[in-house]
Chain A
């Protein structure tokens, strides 16, 4: 079994099942997890994270619905990359929305396109 890093915080506002789904999705998107990689059973993940089985079950069901995980009875759960394309589109649409907002603000207050591109480039590279 590959070493899977999942970091759960009970202090953040994000529900625990969302913390699990978003971290697994991020790992699939980045290529760290690949098609067919096994992931822990619901019960063993619940045990090691000290959380309830139902919480993990909800996370796995969401991941399955979004095409990131496949579960075969008797064999366990595996990573699926079936959902990545849809997820990518979804994320791009979100980015577009924010950029549109930024463009509107810039246009209405006289910030130039060059300045905007400069800022965007800076932000993008800063977080890389």
Chain B
């Protein structure tokens, strides 16, 4: 079953359109949502959460249509934005009291356990917390109302490598249950390169690709070559290229199969960053 299914979601603004976006997050998997700033990642997440009115399209969560009426679905969804949406003077223990009123499934004991696991003090006010601590608090809240689907917008932005590594641990712990799933948007692709099962790449409001991460990392190839090789390489299926002063750079989605055909070229496996850059800056036929 799909944990999250986004079907043809469109949202028009004056200067930006989220354009017919469709992809799904299978149960038990981590989906990384990537794209440059302003590509539509946050707008999409807001549309999924029904925080903005969609012009058209549908969002299904664990098989149920998610809209204004579907309050019970929200118990299953844990949301973490890049900032906490609680008053700065509140402390975790007060948040627990508020959450007990908001969520039917609020588990105070689980919350206390998460706080101690994340080394957060129940009585410290939010305003005294570092960015990493706030992020962990947000995740503790999401996990304590027994969410099955975690939706995180830029959770690792602004965190140091140690805090990011700790977050990955928390995510993978959560994923030990096969019914759990995560949708995580980030422009720090190295984190996603480690743990994501699938990658969806949005650019200018459209889905450019949505694929298993290993396919991108192990089947795609990037070739740096001269004019003579380039003329042939650009004709390959799905080729994207950039012309630099002294060389061409060509991204080949079917690169793994082409290695035996182009033995004179050095084919490298691209990183997610390189793939993103090629699609944004590159040319296509």
Using CB atoms and an 8 Å cutoff, list the residues of chain A in contact with chain B.
10, 13, 15, 17, 43-44, 46-47, 50-55, 58
Chain B residue with Cβ nearest A51 = B194
Count of inter-chain pairs, beta carbons less than 8 A: 46
Bound: A54/B192 CA distance, A:
13
Mask of B186-222 contacts with A, CB within 8 angstroms, 1/0: 0000000011111000000000000011100110000
Bound: A33/B46 CA distance, A:
49
B28 touches A53 (CB 8 A): yes
Interface flag for B178 (CB, 8 Å): yes
Interface flag for B14 (CB, 8 Å): no
Nearest chain A CB to B156's CB is how many angstroms away? 14
Q: List 28 A-B contacts (CB under 8 A).
A: A10-B194, A13-B269, A15-B214, A15-B217, A15-B218, A17-B214, A43-B176, A44-B176, A46-B175, A47-B169, A47-B172, A47-B175, A47-B176, A50-B165, A50-B172, A50-B195, A51-B195, A52-B194, A52-B197, A53-B29, A53-B30, A53-B197, A54-B29, A54-B198, A54-B212, A54-B213, A54-B214, A55-B214
Count, chain B residues at interface, CB 8 A: 22
In the A-B complex, list the 5 residue pairs whose CB atoms are closest, starting with the nearest.
A47-B172, A54-B197, A52-B197, A15-B218, A43-B176
Nearest chain A CB to B223's CB is how many angstroms away? 15
Using CB atoms and an 8 Å cutoff, list the residues of chain B in contact with chain A.
28-30, 165, 168-169, 172-173, 175-176, 178, 194-198, 212-214, 217-218, 269
Chain A residue with Cβ nearest B28 = A53
Residues of B within 8 A of A17 (CB): 214
Nearest chain B CB to A22's CB is how many angstroms away? 15
Q: Is the interface of A mostly helix, strand, loop or mixed?
A: helix
Residues of A within 8 A of B218 (CB): 15
Chain A residue with Cβ nearest B194 = A50
Residues of B within 8 A of A58 (CB): 214
B176 touches A52 (CB 8 A): no
Q: Known: A15-B214, A43-B178. Is A52-B195 also a contact (CB below 8 A)?
A: yes
Nearest chain B CB to A19's CB is how many angstroms away? 12
Chain A residue with Cβ nearest B193 = A10
Bound: A47/B30 CA distance, A:
12
Bound: A46/B168 CA distance, A:
11
Residues of B within 8 A of A46 (CB): 172, 175, 195
Q: Known: A54-B29, A54-B212, A58-B214. Is A47-B173 also a contact (CB below 8 A)?
A: yes
Nearest chain A CB to B23's CB is how many angstroms away? 16
Residues of A within 8 A of B195 (CB): 46, 50-52
Residues of B within 8 A of A10 (CB): 194
Chain A residue with Cβ nearest B268 = A13
Bound: A55/B221 CA distance, A:
19
Bound: A15/B269 CA distance, A:
10
Bound: A47/B175 CA distance, A:
8
Q: Known: A15-B217, A47-B173. Is A52-B178 also a contact (CB below 8 A)?
A: no
Chain A residue with Cβ nearest B176 = A43
B269 touches A52 (CB 8 A): no
Residues of B within 8 A of A43 (CB): 175-176, 178
Nearest chain B CB to A21's CB is how many angstroms away? 13
